[in-house]
Amino acid sequence: MSKKSGKIADLIHGLRGQAENAHYLGFFECFNRGLYYEAHDVLEELWLSDRNGPNYAFYKGLIQLAGAFVHLQKNRLKPSLALFNLAQKNLTLYPSHHERLNLLEVLGIIHDWSDALIESDFTLNPLNTKPAPLLHLMKCSPIQQGTLVIATRNKHKLQEIQKIMGDHWRYLNLLDLPGAPEVLEDQATFDGNAQKKSLELAQWIMSNGILCQSLAFPLLILADDSGLAVDALNGAPGVYSARFAAMDSGEPGNSADSENNAKLLRLLHDVPAAKRSARFHCVLALTEIETPYSPQAEWKIKTFDGICEGVLAFEASGQGGFGYDPLFVPAGFEVSFAALGEEIKNRISHRSNGLSKLKSYLGA
């Protein structure tokens, strides 16, 4: 026995004889004690023995996650981010709950720690300022009903939708589907844009035979379009909410959140508090496909509306959220969406209202 194998045998001593492989359990024992190098090594043995197995990329992703924290311990920040990205790529190949592990939580950890590195421009090591994350195995995995494809690359929106919709689905998103079409949002209404995005993505997926074979059916493709409607601006920015500032310059694509908020405040500079009413409006479009052989004539398309009324503040506040959240104060509250926190926002937001109707429809 090599020195390394002997060390691993010591690490997993006492974990043998349980339902899961001792190396798999040993990974979590080591990771949660901050022994990231050991976590890497103990799972590597299992990964090497499963090179042709269904969990090959799953184990590889967890090994890369541990490796990212090894780099952080050695203050190698850019290599750490590279491994976070590789871990995400591998782990998103699997259902949201796999081998008793909540991958939504794991991907949330990856996003948070990656963001911390990027936002500091690699000048601060988050391991020095944040508590080390813990990974927990669930007592059992929930039963999943099919595949829910969320037509967005916006990670904030993905986390919000997945948290609200729960554990009943295998989730995929546009980050998991390289080559997915960029849909031109050229419709005059939220409803029109949402339906167009959902249907065009469904058509693309169903035209890809290899991809279809890898998906669990029924297949649901969920797209949304949402925005802010300000009464003092006759409903603007509306469907142009994401590219509000860019409309002035004619630049293609969406604007930065800070630019959109700055333009909104500028336009409302002389509008008094009593006339700053606004609402977030979201339309969710769901395309349902029962089997890989369902003709398009049998696809079902349904839409679900959600609205959140409020007013616009005179200045931004709060550290959370995205988009216009720092300016929007929902009815019944004194602080902005960005200051309310994720839990409250997910309960009262326009998207939450629409998703609750969707959940009721699906019986989730």
Q: Which two tokens stand for residue 235?
A: 């409903």
**Is 41 designated active site?**
no
**Do the Cβ atoms of 100 and 137 come closer than 8 Å?**
yes
Q: Phi then psi for 131, rounded to 5 degrees?
A: -65, 140
Q: What is the pLDDT of residue 364?
A: 58
Report, as an integer, the average pLDDT of 263-277: 96
Q: What is the pLDDT of residue 16?
A: 43
* Among the listed residues 319, 311, 317, the one whose alpha carbon sits nearest the alpha carbon of residue 341: 319
Q: What is the pLDDT of residue 10?
A: 56
Q: pLDDT confidence of 141, banded at 50, 70, 90? A: very low
pLDDT: which is higher, 177 or 196: 196
Domains and CATH numbers, the chain: 3-128 (1.10.3450.10), 146-362 (3.90.950.10)
Residue with tokens 């409006």: 281
Give the pLDDT confidence of 4-23 residue by residue, as tens digits: 444 545 555 544 444 457 78
* Among the listed residues 53, 119, 51, 57, the one whose alpha carbon sits nearest the alpha carbon of residue 88: 57
Residue with tokens 């959220």: 321
Which one of the listed residues 225, 231, 257, 325 is annotated catalytic?
A: 225
Helix axes 22-31, 36-49, angle to 10 degrees: 160
**Do the Cβ atoms of 64 and 87 come closer than 8 Å?**
yes
d(CA 229, CA 72): 44
d(CA 329, CA 136): 36
Q: pLDDT confidence of 208, banded at 50, 70, 90? A: confident
d(CA 256, CA 121): 18
DSSP per residue over 227-283, as a string?
A: EEEEGGGTT-BGGGGGGTTHHHHT-SSPPPHHHHHHHHHHHTTT--GGG-EEEEEEE
**Do the Cβ atoms of 314 and 265 come closer than 8 Å?**
yes
| 64 pLDDT more than 90 | yes
- Least-confidence region, from 211-215, 255-259, 284-288, 307-311: 211-215
Q: Going by DSSP bridges, is the β-strand pair 146-150/277-289 parallel, antiparallel, or unpaired?
A: unpaired
Which 8-state DSSP code applies to residue 137?
B
Terminal-residue alpha carbon distance, the chain: 51
d(CA 135, CA 99): 13
Give the pLDDT confidence of 106-132 residue by residue, as tens digits: 999 999 999 999 999 999 999 999 999
CB count in 10 Å sphere of residue 334? 8
State which amino acid sits at residue 21. N
Q: What is the pLDDT of residue 59?
A: 92
Q: Which two tokens stand for residue 99?
A: 């081998």
- Least-confidence region, from 86-90, 236-240, 315-319, 345-349: 345-349
Q: Which two tokens stand for residue 328?
A: 């929007």
Q: Which two tokens stand for residue 311?
A: 């007013």
Q: Which residues contact 243 (CB under 8 A, 6 or more apart)?
A: 253, 254, 255
Burial of 160 (0-12, 13-18, 19+ CB in 10 A): buried
